Structure 1
Amino acid sequence: MDQHLLVFVTVVEKESFSRAAEALHMTQPAVSQYIQVLENTYGVKLLDRNNKFVRLNKAGEIVYFHAKEILGLYTKMQGLMDDLTNRASGSLSIGASYTFGEYVLPHFIAKLHHEFPLIRPSIVIGNTRKIADLVLRHQLDIGIIEGNLESTQLKIDPFADDQMVVVASTQHRLAWLEGEVAASELEKETWLVREVGSGTREATERIIRELSIAPKEMMEFGSTQLIKESVESGLGISFLSHLAIRKELSLGLLKIVRVKGTPLKRDFSIVLQSAFQTKALEVFVKILRESKGFWNSEEG
């Protein structure tokens, strides 16, 4: 692995030469020397620094962006070479969109750790667009996303279904209506939605189109948990994964509003960039694909 790039990335992410030295088990002068060699190699300063801060300049941003990709490829290559003689082990970087990452992924990480304790997973949670981009840039070994995504550079493979439902507070007027709620009733409400780029936002926009409604107001939130809390408080209604509201349903804090065309099914998909897979990645993908029992138990 290129040690100069590793030192540079660590300095950037720690925002300090001293903290980078501590993380890399090096002396601070040694870290400074690595950065100086790298800057001499490219003939340009990469960092703006003084006694208070270390920041990327324009040249540094370019090197950092590509250094992350290069280091990701080094790690993947080393893992593949280790697999020639060893059992499934080593690092595994996993990215997941919010619904899957926060409400489903922990179950699979526990299973992975139980069966393959030598694998060291690291987790990144973000919206669908961000996770796909990190996989494309080799900064994640695998992504798990919700909703639809088209890409000619990534392999996208659906492996499980999710169900999206309209949800309201148990004290909300819609929660007390009998039978299916008319689309015109939903139009009168404030909709609490996720940010653009989120699979949940995509599903929300899809159901709004299918119902041919124009909600009076839409409020955007960057967290499903914040949306649930806001719906519970009576701020508005939302369109969320059934997986994300199981606890609130069981506690009687939220209620599913019956609406024509729901539950709306969407896919959870595995996203990969390379045809080469480490053993660690192979066994994790296998765990995901053999997860029918988990989904069946959730539906029941």
Structure 2
Amino acid sequence: MSLNLHLLRLFAAVAKTGSFSRAAELLHISQPAISKGVRDFELQVGCRLLDRTPKGVRPTREGAALARHAETLFAAERAAEDELQALRNLDSGSLRIGASTTIATYMIPAYLGIFHRAFPGIDLHVVSANTSEIAALMLAHEIEIALVEGPVEDENLVSQAWRTDVMGLIAAPDHRLAAASGPIDFHLLEDEILIVREPGSGTREVVAQALAAHGVEPKRTLEIGSTEAIKQAVAAGVGVAIVSTATSDDQVRLGKLRVIPIKGTRIERMLWQLKSSGRLDVPAAVAFEGIIREKQDAQANPRKPVARVRRTDPAPRRQRARS
């Protein structure tokens, strides 16, 4: 049996929106046409795909399975359309980038500037969210580039090591820990209010791992869902925090924060790029990947000349991260 792709599209729109009327608005056709198309499709596949309820419609078990395949199919269709458009010398098209909050705020802007100067005709769209949310967007084919603060264990995603990020303990300049003449003992944090990010944040996971590895259990924690807000709270003397040094360098230079070294401890984490297994990379994504890797290579090897951005940069090899 060959599926009617037009009818599949109608069904997928209803399954996604949960409403025949909203699906009709989305596809710019009449509601009766949507209803008839879904009925015809159910007859074609030989089973009921949607349950009609007073609160709307929802997929049956068979409908949910088919909707997942439809999402992948139409995502591939969009990717093909984007690639055909982007292949015109990368003079037009778009690139959707998703990044964990810290990366989007402090690391991505420099890469965006380089990319825009090389390919001014490409529209850039950046989504900032925590690691788990970015992974979900990549799985849903809502973004082409995904840069996150921790590897994601999902059979449909491949985590590739991207760059190393150094974490540091920050405190207000007048905090008691800032008066220490040398590196402090990690266990001193047990008597401090430790300010942490929200669950699902890669930063929070790294901090939790570092504390556990040293047997440190702070008596009090404060959860704040923004690194910028955490820095402000630390500067105001509310508590201390462990954050990426890339996020605190500016405030340290201004004298509003102090980085406190910890005795015998260096907290680092690997930042990761997520790839959708089996998904074809559009040329704009390949070009952007070339930029972030060349810049990282230049930072790691200052004497090595940076190659110019070329429109034919090959896609990086996919390697599944070791768990």
- The TM-score with structure 1 as length reference comes to 0.77
Deviations 1:39-73 (A, max 9, x none): 99999999x9xxxxx99999999999877655433
Aligned position for 1:271:
274
Q: Alpha carbons of 1:7 and 1:242: their partners in 2 closer, same or farther (altered >3 Å)?
A: farther
Aligned position for 2:166:
163
Aligned position for 1:280:
284
Task: Tell me the CA shift for residue 238 of structure 1.
Answer: 0.7
Matched, 1:198 2:201: yes
Q: Is the 8 A contact 1:69 1:139 kept in 2?
A: no
Matched, 1:212 2:215: yes
Q: Which moved more, 1:217-226 or 1:152-161?
A: 152-161
In 1: Cα distance, 2:172 partner to 2:32 partner: 59
Secondary structure, aligned partner of 1:290 = helix
Deviations 1:111-157 (A, max 9, x none): 11110112112111111122122212222212001133334332222
Q: Alpha carbons of 1:45 and 1:151: their partners in 2 closer, same or farther (altered >3 Å)?
A: closer
Aligned position for 2:89:
87
Pairing of 1:147-158 with structure 2 (within 5 A): 147-158=150-161
Aligned position for 1:139:
142
Q: Please provide the CA RMSD for this pair.
A: 3.7
Q: Which moved more, 1:29-38 or 1:280-289?
A: 29-38
Q: Alpha carbons of 1:112 and 1:173: their partners in 2 closer, same or farther (altered >3 Å)?
A: same
In 2: Cα distance, 1:76 partner to 1:34 partner: 26
Q: Is the 8 A contact 1:68 1:139 kept in 2?
A: no
Gaps of 5+ in 1: 49-53
Q: Alpha carbons of 1:258 and 1:12: their partners in 2 closer, same or farther (altered >3 Å)?
A: farther
Task: Tell me the CA shift for residue 81 of structure 1.
Answer: 3.0
Task: Tell me the CA shift for residue 286 of structure 1.
Answer: 0.2
In 2: Cα distance, 1:8 partner to 1:295 partner: 50
Q: Alpha carbons of 1:65 and 1:150: their partners in 2 closer, same or farther (altered >3 Å)?
A: closer
Aligned position for 1:289:
293
Letter in 1 for 2:272: S
Task: Tell me the CA shift for residue 229 of structure 1.
Answer: 1.3
In 2: Cα distance, 1:143 partner to 1:175 partner: 37
Letter in 1 for 2:89: R
In 2: Cα distance, 1:18 partner to 1:118 partner: 36
Task: Tell me the CA shift for residue 206 of structure 1.
Answer: 1.5
Paired positions, count: 293
Secondary structure, aligned partner of 2:271 = strand
Q: Alpha carbons of 1:256 and 1:13: their partners in 2 closer, same or farther (altered >3 Å)?
A: farther
Letter in 2 for 1:213: V
Q: Is the 8 A contact 1:164 1:262 kept in 2?
A: no
Letter in 1 for 2:227: T
Q: Alpha carbons of 1:12 and 1:270: their partners in 2 closer, same or farther (altered >3 Å)?
A: same
Secondary structure, aligned partner of 1:238 = strand
Q: Alpha carbons of 1:131 and 1:217: their partners in 2 closer, same or farther (altered >3 Å)?
A: same
Q: Is the 8 A contact 2:159 2:274 kept in 1?
A: yes
Aligned position for 2:318:
none
Secondary structure, aligned partner of 1:291 = helix
Task: Tell me the CA shift for residue 7 of structure 1.
Answer: 9.7
Secondary structure, aligned partner of 2:218 = coil
Gaps of 5+ in 2: 303-323
In 2: Cα distance, 1:223 partner to 1:240 partner: 11
Aligned position for 2:312:
none
Letter in 1 for 2:271: F
Q: Is the 8 A contact 2:15 2:59 kept in 1?
A: no
When Rg is computed on C-alpha atoms for both structures, the one with the higher figure is: 2
Equivalent of residue 109 in structure 1, options 103, 108, 112: 112
Secondary structure, aligned partner of 2:204 = helix
Deviations 1:190-229 (A, max 9, x none): 1111122211011111210122111011122211111111
Task: Tell me the CA shift for residue 26 of structure 1.
Answer: 9.6
Secondary structure, aligned partner of 2:255 = coil
Aligned position for 1:51:
none
Secondary structure, aligned partner of 2:97 = strand
